[in-house]
Amino acid sequence: MDTLLQVLLNGILNGMLYALVALGLCLIWGVMDVINFAHGEYVMVAMYVSYWLGFLANVDPLISTLAGGALIFILGALTYKLIIHYTVGKPPLSALLATFGLAMLLKNLCLNRFTPNFRILSDTWLGDRTFQLGGLIVPLPQLVTAVLALLVIGLVFYMIRSTRFGWAVQATAMDREAAELMGINTERIYILIFGIGGATVGIAGGIMPTSLAVHPEVGTMFGLIAFICVAMGGFGSIPGTLMAAILVGVVEALSGYYIAPVFKYVAVFGLYLAVVFLRPKGIFGW
């Protein structure tokens, strides 16, 4: 029984991290119908920011996660202004390919500047600390990440649902022209949404060096899983993305332990295909 609970706990904690990574992708798709292919590379850049702040200035990832968020906010806003802006009104594939190009640029830039070496931040505040809860081992870095994910997701959800800015975002997502006629500066909304989407993934990437090695390829799998969470949860649905991410984490953990470790991503992608087949708009999509 303890083993099952441990596997479930690991799955839920990993799922919360996936949710935080996927949140930005969900926001951007929900408002702009744009899939940001560089999302995984945003994670990687934020991890490098956190790593270098830790390595050079001894700043703990718990603090530098904010710097990661701020920097990826700027990167996100610039992505919109310099790339996506020129694809609005064009076939959807053009934005997809443009962000794919950005992903290649960021990955190769980091490869060139930082080499492919794996970089591990040691002696962080959370370190590899764990504590016992009954028979369960609770890893502190993953627990703190999960709490942070809940906070950020709750904050963004509240902002979208209950603030004037959020209503403007919803209006823009529903009908851009009508929103403009109501006096909403939709261009500004787009910039901010790309920025906020970037900031959330920047926060996720910023805290990840506590438990993961940093290297130019680290974001690839996270980007892919984020896409699956958003597609399964329903493009644009924040609660849907959260639920889907936890489901992905749990399915990954259960199948990895009870079937075979090598089967865990097969189960995740199989679940994704099943959801897309049965409900193409995702679990919470509309």
Partner 1 sequence: MAYCKSFVKLLFVAAVAVCLALGVTPGQSMAQEKVIKIGTIFPLTGPVATAGQRCKAAVETAAEIINNKHPNVKVPLAAQAGLLGGYKIVLVHTDSQGKPDVGKAEAERLINQEGVWGLIGAYNSAVSMPASLVAERAKKIFMCGASSSAALTQRDLKFFFRTASTDEVESHEFVEVLKWLNKTQKKANLKTLGIIYENSVFGKHAAEEAKKAAAKGGFNVVADVPFNPGATNLDSEVQTLKSKNPDALFGAVLGADYSLMVKTMKKMNWIPKACLNYCSGYQDPVIAKQLGDDASYFMGSTGYSPQFADIMPAVAEVEKIFKTKTGGVPYDSDSIQETIALLVLAQAIEKSKSLDPEVVAKTLYANTWPSPLSLSGKVAFSPGGQNKLALSIITQLQGGEYKRVFPREKANTKVVFPMKPWDKR
- The footprint of partner 1 on residues 153-192 (CB under 8 A) is none
262 binds partner 1 (CB under 8 A): yes
139 binds partner 1 (CB under 8 A): yes
| 16, 173, 184, 212: which one binds partner 1 (CB under 8 A) | 212
The residue among 30 and 54 lying less far from partner 1, judged by its C-beta, is 54
Q: Among the candidate windows 30-38, 112-120, 171-179, 233-241, which touches partner 1 by CB under 8 A?
A: 112-120
The residue among 135 and 280 lying less far from partner 1, judged by its C-beta, is 135
| 97, 120, 151, 273: which one binds partner 1 (CB under 8 A) | 120
- The footprint of partner 1 on residues 10-39 (CB under 8 A) is 10-11, 14, 18
C-alpha dihedral, 51 to 52 to 54 to 55, nearest 10°: 110
Q: Site for partner 1 (CB under 8 A): how many residues?
A: 42
The residue among 15 and 30 lying less far from partner 1, judged by its C-beta, is 15
115 binds partner 1 (CB under 8 A): yes
* Residue numbers at the binding site for partner 1 (CB under 8 A): 3, 6-7, 10-11, 14, 18, 107-108, 111, 115-120, 122, 128, 130, 137, 139, 211-213, 215-218, 220-222, 225, 252-253, 255-257, 260-262, 264-265
